[in-house]
Amino acid sequence: MSEITTPPRQIGAETRVAVVGLGYVGLPLAVALAAHVEVLGYDISERRVAELQAGEDRTHEVSPERLADSTLAVTHDPARLKDADCFIVTVPTPVDEQKRPNLDALLAAARTVGEQLAPGALVVFESTVWPGVTEDICRPEIEQRSGLTCGVDFHLGYSPERINPGDREHTVERIVKIVAAQDAETAQALATLYGKVTAGGVFIAKDIRTAEAAKVIENAQRDINIAFINEVAQIFHKMELSVHDVLEAANTKWNFLDFKPGLVGGHCIGVDPYYLAHRAVEIGHDPEIILAGRRINDSMGTFFADSIMAQLAGSSGSTGTPGPILVLGLSFKENVPDLRNSQVVDIVARLRVCGYRVQVHDPVADAAEAKRLYDIELKSDLADANAQYICVLGAVAHDAFRAFTTESFAALLAPGGLVADIKGLWRDVAMPAGIRRWTL
């Protein structure tokens, strides 16, 4: 006897969407969808829900005005998800200390969905994973909790997220959205749903595994490209060539890829390659390039700290000279508050271990979060600097730091001090007399 299938719900104005996980990805998506359909956002964090209910998004991805204007409802109570026609899961997929994928949040979210799922509903995962996680790991979890059968009672899809924190151009409303599902009807329903949100168009991938693979290589490719530039930056540094000058010249070629050297942190580029590598090893392939890229990028904090200490040798705290080092920026990326996997922390830790006093200033990051995650006290302003620093280290290209002038450095640095410009931020700024400059 053949099974009776409950068809996937049709997408229309009355569709009820539940977004599970309201972070950098989930909140902008939930707000964008709420302009077209009924959306309930659920987050496991009571604090996050309370802040959103009070109209505050501490990721700064959605403005208070937009949040206030949105019909999005948010909740901490999973039982309220039970009427959803479509669940969209946008929870974190980090790595643990050994760089192994940690699927705990994803599995917990799958169980939450399973407990609230009704026949005919769609379940879409957006979290970045390796090919197979949605169907082989999340699906059984949902089936077990719901007692429903995938493909018969509910329908599974995957739609990777491409947003880029702090990027106001490539928003969820403008970029091409990949969707994929276990059957054509569900894929079409997802194309209709996401098509309401993005003007960039929807691409229906061949299947869920293909969409998972596409996402994970997008970020692994970026990581490898940056690793290459970081490697040549180190080679050229030994040759006393500036990689910035070299790149300026090389970039005049039509097909040279424009990547910059630097720290690779955050929740995506420095993490996702480990997901692909993990699965590669499981199936008996040694992911050489992927892991070499990770090693190079993960070592950049040490490279920068050691290079700067070599410049400071003889004028430093380790030899008893009083001035501290001022590190400008702690978040993983310019103009975003996200501190997760910040590689600046590696620089600070190494300088401290080598005996330097280090202060960190970041006007964008949350001071309480810096303390909680890294035990770093952020210096709140620079008004009392009194030209005391032996080194000003530009670690993150926040707009506030880009605006620095010759006078800014004069106010911060002691005579003979060093500006360590790891981002090449101030290459066009003249340094005050007697102030040295180090850059790649």
What is the rounded distance in angstroms from the CA atom of residue 304 to the CA atom of residue 371?
Answer: 23
What is the rounded distance in angstroms from the CA atom of residue 339 to the CA atom of residue 17?
Answer: 30
Cβ(241)–Cβ(185) below 8 Å: no
Q: x/- string (CB under 6 A) for ligand NAD, residues 62-91?
A: ----------------------------xx
Compare residues 90 and 182 and give the one whose CB is closer to ligand NAD: 90
By the rule CB under 6 A, 92 interacts with ligand NAD: yes
- Residue 387 makes CB contacts below 8 A (sequence gap 6+) with 410, 411, 412, 413, 414, 415, 417
Stated as kind and residue range, the H or E segment containing 17 is strand 16-20
Stretch that binds ligand NAD, among 155-163, 176-184, 186-194, 402-410 (CB under 6 A): 155-163
- Residue 430 makes CB contacts below 8 A (sequence gap 6+) with 406
Distance of closest approach, residue 99 Cβ to ligand NAD, in angstroms: 14
Distance of closest approach, residue 193 Cβ to ligand NAD, in angstroms: 18
What is the rounded distance in angstroms from the CA atom of residue 15 to the CA atom of residue 255?
Answer: 45
Among 86, 138, 268, 391, the one annotated catalytic: 268
By the rule CB under 6 A, 53 interacts with ligand NAD: no
By the rule CB under 6 A, 43 interacts with ligand NAD: yes
Q: x/- string (CB under 6 A) for ligand NAD, residues 7-26?
A: -------------xxxxxxx
- 190: tokens are 């997802």
Q: Which member of 15, 29, 41, 48 binds ligand NAD (CB under 6 A)?
A: 48
Q: Are strands 436-439 and 177-181 parallel, antiparallel or unpaired?
A: unpaired
Is 268 annotated as catalytic? yes
- 142: tokens are 């949902």
Compare residues 35 and 44 and give the one whose CB is closer to ligand NAD: 44
Q: Which member of 139, 267, 350, 361 binds ligand NAD (CB under 6 A)?
A: 267
Give, as ranges, the residues between 101 and 120 that touch ligand NAD (CB under 6 A).
105, 108-109, 112
What is the rounded distance in angstroms from the CA atom of residue 382 to the CA atom of residue 118?
Answer: 56
Stretch that binds ligand NAD, among 156-164, 180-188, 229-237, 419-427 (CB under 6 A): 156-164
**Closest to 146 (Cα-Cα) out of 120, 172, 184:** 120
How is 85-126 classified by DSSP, letter by letter? SEEEE-----B-TTS-B--HHHHHHHHHHHHH--TT-EEEE-
Which residue carries 């922390």 as its tokens?
345
Give, as ranges, the residues between 370 and 409 that touch ligand NAD (CB under 6 A).
none
Length of the chain as a residue count: 440
How many residues lie near ligand NAD (CB under 6 A)?
A: 30
Distance of closest approach, residue 129 Cβ to ligand NAD, in angstroms: 7
Give, as ranges, the residues between 121 and 150 that touch ligand NAD (CB under 6 A).
126-128
Compare residues 77 and 286 and give the one whose CB is closer to ligand NAD: 77
Amino acid identity of residue 295, one-letter, is: R
Residues assigned a catalytic role: 268
Q: Which residues here bind ligand NAD, judged by CB under 6 A?
A: 20-26, 42-45, 48, 90-93, 105, 108-109, 112, 126-128, 161-165, 267-268
